[in-house]
Structure 1
Amino acid sequence: MTEARAASAPTVLRVVLGRRLQDLRERAGLSYEQAARALDVTHATVRRIEKAEVGLRIPYVEKLLLTYGVTAPAEIANFLELAREANRPGWWHRFRDVLPEWFSAFVSLEGSAELIRAYEPHYVPGLLQTPQYAEAVLRAGRPHASQEEIERGVALRMQRQALLTRDDPPLLWVVLDETVLRRPIGGPEVMRRQIDRLIEACGMPQVRLQVMPFASGPHPAMYGPFHIFRFPLPELPDIAYAESLIGAVYLDEREDVSRFREALDRMSAQALPAGPTREFLEEARDRL
């Protein structure tokens, strides 16, 4: 993934296999042009395969493996089976009618990460939203959507939350701006239930939640929300994500991601620790 909008929404496995093909090509000492000649395609096609911008065509993958010196039948068969799996649509594909293509990549990254760090200055992150709060957020963001579309969007958001209760959940570490607790979304009762959900999340071992109160003053990420994903797979670097009204950027260059990581590190030191965060949430709920 790069700084460009993730138009093709690759699954994480497709990204990994693309990087493995790149590594095999480079170890074989072949250029894009030389690899492309083996497939009778342009060098841009090979580049796009490696960057997970296109699907993994099985005949192409098999030919590339042989060109790169991979000849063991079992090794080839295993790689091709992974390629077939990578080409299968993710579970979220059935929500494609309400899921923007650029956000599909986010759902894939989210489900494969071992650590998800985020700063959110506007609303509760989707993984911690109640259904009622999620509906209010979606209605605000999509004022022309039908009731069915809103309900489908809520269902997608609730299914994403299943990763927090699976056998190997990622660590979710969120810095939440006080603005999130002050902005009335869905009315007092919806906000009370949502804050109760956050208080409950404070007790989950796989969730680390911190509030950044107004009293803490300025901080390094006052420009907007973002996420950082870390993966257990050696082929994948940390990836930073930021979105706008019409798309998103996915950054994986070390220098770019390090700036986001440094900002979050500073903010985590500046925000309230776990105990005071829970107390802050309880006080915010009592004010409603």
Structure 2
Amino acid sequence: MIDHPPFALFIRGSKVDAFAVSDQLGFETGMEALAVSLFEDGPETMHVQALFETQAQAEACLDGLKFPSDMESFITQLPDEDWISKSQAGLPPVKAGRFWLYGTHDADNIPSNVPFPIEINAGLAFGTGHHGTTKGCLLIFDKLLESGFKPKRVLDLGCGAGVLAIAAAKALQQDILATDIDQDAVDVTLQNALANNVSEFVKSYQADGFDSPELKGQRFDLIFANILAKPLMGLAPDIAHALAPDGKVILSGILNEQAEMVSDAFTKKGLEVSPQPSLSGWTSLLGQKP
């Protein structure tokens, strides 16, 4: 832990642009960010916050980012206080069906009737469950479980912090494969699986696409794909091919206005796609292979 308040880089703009910047901050710059967070701050806008040990690190990161000129950006040192506790306390628990996502600061406040509590703290990898995309995936998964769906082979594609893989491991008590293009995400997923007592089930690997050794030739009964609209559309042929007959895919990271074109991309590959209720401007889709 550093002995002084960190320097925060803030970048604010449209949801699409902010999400793209958050991907760069988390996975592409190589900078040693202490934490990266993405927040909705209006109907159409979001802001990204990345914390660094030094101002020089924050400035170097900002110089390396690519984003539209109309996005606001600035660097400031946070107040001299327990900023880690403050940051974590700013993330309230999230209920998504039978799943309850919480930070360590809320470990003593888990309702007794929650079947699957999941401890996730803000950090370098994305997907704490406090964003509508992750929550949307969990709600769809919860409904599938409620209907009696019991997938034997499950993939969390682009796992981030591993929330979806951990949720599946807790609910199904079986091996879950989690992959991401970034090694940081893989490491965080494995750490979170250990913290949630499902490390025996969650197998996480760095993999760039379905041609990687970990994914090539495999078929899955359920695929979580909480990424972004454009990458999802590009992956549509591979995802459809990787689904077993009657397999399902939960697609997320999709703005409401992008839902139709993402749905079309998967429908053209032979899947039956149904949109789910929107959460804070984000739509999740459920696709099924005949």
> Shared fold by TM > 0.5?
no
Structure showing the higher helix proportion among its residues: 1
**What is the TM-score normalised by the length of structure 1?**
0.29
Point out the structure with the larger strand share: 2
